A and B are shown apart, each in its own frame.
Chain A
Amino acid sequence: MSPAPANELGYKPLDGGWGWMVVFGAHISIGFAYSAPKALSIFFKEIQEDLGASYSEIAWISSIMLATMYAGGPVSSVLVNCFGSRPVVILGGLMCGVSMVAASFGTSIIYLYFFTGIIGGCGLSLNLNASLTIISKYFLAKRPLANGLAMAGSPVFLFFLAPLNQYLLDKFGWRGSFFILGGLMLNCCVAGALMRPVVLPCKPPSFALQKIVEEQPNKSNNKLERSCTKNTKMFCDLSFFKDRGFVIYLIGNMMFIFGAYAPFLFLSAYAISQGVAEYSAAYLLSITGLVDMFVRPGTGLVANSKWIRPRIQYFFSFAMIFNGTCHLLCPLIRSYSFLVVYAVFLGISFGMVFALIFECLMDLMGNQHFPSAVGLVTIMECFPMLLGPPTAGLLVDLFDYKYLFFMCGSVIASGGIFLFVMNIYNYHMLDKENRENDSEPNQRTIEMLDQVLEVAMKQTADAAEERTEPGAKESNGAQEDP
């Protein structure tokens, strides 16, 4: 298990109790975020006939939604830092609901791009970021398990949304379905309501506080907005790029995302080209989803164990290499039963990677920097995500399906190997730095204290200007997480 409670948090997180309700809320929120763009594809044929657009024009709706969801990361991080998770998730849920309801009245494809793609995508990005952040606030010791459970929302929701969408389509047509889906997405507001803000007792200024105050001020609700907007202007995204671990993680992740989604898009088509019946080919994806559903919490459980937790970065790179290898072996498969085996292994490896993907970032960046870091990571991941499937499609058109799998597999596997090697290097360097630091602790302590005092005095001056409630007294030294 983990060592002493997170020093930088300044408090010992709950690791249970209401935390599990928060995980449930995050499960719903993340579930909608990842499954909604995919599940919408069921409506495409209908919409295509109704609006008279081509298939590629319609398919853009999903891509815009997914891209906006990832691109909205930094904005979402800022909002979460300022206001906390609960209001952001409730706002996200409202945005999604309103966007789908408005989209149901659409008469042109541009209208759908705007409402479903952009507004819906923004709502989902708010949901995603805030849910991940609140997990990091509530859990430490059991955080991998909590992450695994929350990320399992994606396959679970996809599993239920796909047939539900088909049923709604048959009963109400695509407009009615969008209308009702808008209502369903309002359930994200319920998820948001579950995400009770973490309220901390007051405490004296600490070293952690100083860093936090400089970069992401967490102040009392009264002064939130003003100080937040003041400080966000000073907030520099690019400072993360100086962090070695972050850069390594980012590169590895981008390589993974580039190759991750294309095999899913082409698996059915590949199976049909190998002579499998259309109905059976569609089952392959369902099998992958079903396996994924159970593997994610399972991986979380495994990652929580005392052998794996300290080496979680290596476990993550192993999962990536496993995924890449699966793709590389796929072209050797000709018969349906082996394709089923491939689908199962694909589900396992994909689930493993996704259960750990944000846990590793939390592990690397720590609780305070995580919201901003995840925003930056998601916006950077936008590019490989948009480039990956079309490149794969191009390979299929020019050559053959097997080159698609070779490309995806090799990119992912090399990403995994890169992560593995570079993490060894990173930890080695960190060891070295720590040993150097340990040799002169006293000097640093004095410097830190000076700085903290300066900041505390500045804060008192600010507080004196606007204070009206007695609660502000505590805000001087208290670290209140919204």
Chain B
Amino acid sequence: MFCSRIVLQCDIMAASLAQLIEEGWGDYTMQQEEGEKIPCEKAALGEDRGIIIMSPSWTQLLFQILLLLVCCRHINTKTSGATPSPLAPVPTVARSVVLKGESQNETIEVLNPIKLELECTWTGDQDKLPNITVYWMKDENEIENSRLTVQLENEPYNLKREFSIEKEENLGTYSCVFENVSKINFILAAPQIGDVREKPIVSYVGDYVVMTCKMEESKPKPSSWNWYKKNGTDEEQIFPAEEPRYKIKNEDEKTKLVVHNLTEADSGLYYCGAVYAIATTKSPVKLKVITYWEPLKPFLAILAEVIVLVAIILLCEKSQSKKDGATGNETNADQTYTLTEGENKDQEGNSSVRQRKV
């Protein structure tokens, strides 16, 4: 914190020093690089460009400069990024891929805001082209000021660029393109929910339904979960506090939405959103609410079929037996069994095991 205040002091110092020199030392100019702060050291070293006549204000200035010299050496100012470094340190992640001829895809899971350094290495080609144009793309749009024409030598060529990924808009597909040769796609996204249920969940009017979303064990857990319902083209977030019909039960890696007292209007598309610092990934769940009448129709049809068949079979049997009865025999004509006579073999009497012999 002390050093950061001193950085500000640097600015003020530089400004006052420049003013002083302009007033008293016109021939000497401070060289300032455009758009950058003057490094403290350079401000302090401006002294050696001319003789310094010490005056009381100068003494004060000198003292401050000496103080700055001590502190400012420790401050790193970044030369490559266009944006200033935030106060909390943001991690830098580097990813490097070697181009292998065809177009490649590399997926990068992003949870929190990071600074991403992407590097594409090309090992060279059989037919040595003298020049090659390289550039970066985001989501099929070329990034401005990234186009370069490079002279190839015998060594592999590294194309590096740093990107600041802070918001959801920064996610997407970044590609390093070697024109007419190949490209590598870096797909930046928050962890996606793997197993998506394609078929709708079916439930009944007046009943309740439980919709689940689960993040795979191997992927990082979201900080929280949200649920949305699709209304026309918008997605409205569901707040259980407002509507007691909905209940959301969250665990680290899964979430459940319970809807009570279903109506047919509740049919439609729901989304569960896994909330990460950088973005929320959504996964659809389809719900279909039907009335009890729907399964009742086939059931009644089957019931009718069973009753009809049983009636037919029993009636046929009765009519047949009546016919036989009319002919004076009490048994069914079908089933006249001839009695075996003279069965004096005792096999069935003593043992229950029959042996089958040829």
Query: A: which residues have CB within 8 A of B?
Result: 2-5, 7-8, 10-14, 17-18, 49-50, 52, 101, 170-173, 175-177, 179-180, 182-184, 186-187, 189-190, 193-194, 196, 198-201, 203, 206-208, 210-211, 243-246, 306, 309-312, 363-366, 368-369, 426-427, 430-431, 433-434, 437, 441, 444-445, 448
Contacts and interface: CB of A to CB of B under 8 A. Distances in A.
Given A3-B356, A14-B337, A184-B302, 15 more contacts: A2-B356, A7-B348, A11-B337, A11-B338, A11-B340, A175-B204, A180-B298, A186-B306, A189-B310, A190-B309, A199-B331, A200-B331, A309-B356, A364-B353, A430-B353
B153 to A, nearest CB: 46
B358 interface: yes
22 contacts: A3-B357, A4-B340, A11-B338, A12-B337, A173-B204, A176-B295, A177-B295, A180-B295, A183-B303, A189-B306, A189-B310, A193-B313, A196-B332, A207-B348, A207-B349, A208-B343, A243-B353, A312-B356, A426-B353, A441-B346, A445-B346, A448-B349
B287 to A, nearest CB: 11
B294 to A, nearest CB: 6
Most chain B Cβ neighbours within 10 Å, of A7, A13, A368, A445: A7
B337 A13 contact: yes
Nearest to B211: A49
A14 B335 contact: yes
Contact of B295 (A172, A206, A444): A172
Nearest to B340: A5
Q: Which of B335, B336, B351 has the most CB of A within 10 A?
A: B335
B339 interface: yes
Interface string B195-214: 00001011110010110100
A196 B317 contact: yes
B1 interface: no
B350 interface: yes
Contact of B352 (A13, A17, A210, A365): A365
A58 B137 CA distance: 52
B347 interface: yes
B339 to A, nearest CB: 5
Nearest to A2: B356
Nearest to B334: A18
A151 to B, nearest CB: 20
A365 B355 CA distance: 10
A364 B352 CA distance: 7
Contact of B309 (A170, A193, A310, A364): A193
B340 A199 contact: no
Given A17-B334, A196-B335, A444 B346 contact: yes
Interface in B160-216: 199, 201-204, 207, 209-210, 212
A10 B339 contact: yes
B295 A369 contact: no
A245 B353 contact: yes
A156 B298 CA distance: 22
Contacts of B336: 201
Contacts of B204: 173, 175-176
B54 to A, nearest CB: 83
Contacts of B317: 196
Contacts of A426: 353
A444 B339 CA distance: 23
Given A173-B203, A190-B309, A369-B352, A437 B335 contact: no
Given A173-B204, A207-B343, A430-B355, A200 B337 contact: yes
Contact of A199 (B296, B335, B351, B358): B335
Given A12-B338, A194-B313, A245-B353, A49 B347 contact: no
A189 B307 CA distance: 9
Interface residues of B, number: 49
A243 B317 CA distance: 40
Contacts of B332: 196, 199
Interface string B135-166: 00000000000000000000000000000000
Contacts of A196: 317, 332, 335
B327 interface: no
Given A171-B202, A180-B298, A430-B355, A366 B348 contact: yes
Given A13-B337, A243-B353, A437 B302 contact: no
A177 B313 CA distance: 28
Given A176-B202, A193-B310, A306-B358, A208 B338 contact: no
Interface string B288-303: 0010001110110011
Contacts of A200: 331, 337
A277 B261 CA distance: 41
A310 B199 contact: no
A210 B209 CA distance: 63
Q: Is the interface of A mostly helix, strand, loop or mixed?
A: helix
A179 B210 contact: no
Nearest to B341: A203
B212 to A, nearest CB: 6
Nearest to B199: A170
Contacts of B352: 243, 245-246, 364-366, 369
Contacts of A448: 346, 349
Contact of A173 (B202, B299, B339, B343): B202
A415 B356 CA distance: 22
Contacts of A12: 337-338, 340
B356 A363 contact: yes
B305 to A, nearest CB: 8
Nearest to A306: B358
A210 B306 contact: no
B248 to A, nearest CB: 15
B345 interface: yes
4 A-B pairs with least C-beta separation: A8-B348, A173-B202, A176-B295, A183-B302
A93 B309 CA distance: 14
B52 interface: no
Contacts of A430: 351, 353, 355
A189 B302 CA distance: 12
Contacts of B349: 207-208, 210-211, 444, 448
Nearest to A211: B349
B74 interface: no
A184 B301 CA distance: 10
Contact of B335 (A18, A101, A190, A311): A18
Contacts of A173: 201-204, 290
Contacts of A8: 347-348, 354
B270 to A, nearest CB: 14
B313 A179 contact: no
Nearest to B357: A310
A431 B204 CA distance: 67
Contacts of A244: 353
Nearest to B296: A179
B348 A190 contact: no
Given A12-B340, A189-B310, A310-B357, A368 B348 contact: yes
Contact of A7 (B210, B212, B337, B340): B340
B202 A172 contact: yes
Contacts of B354: 8, 363-364, 366
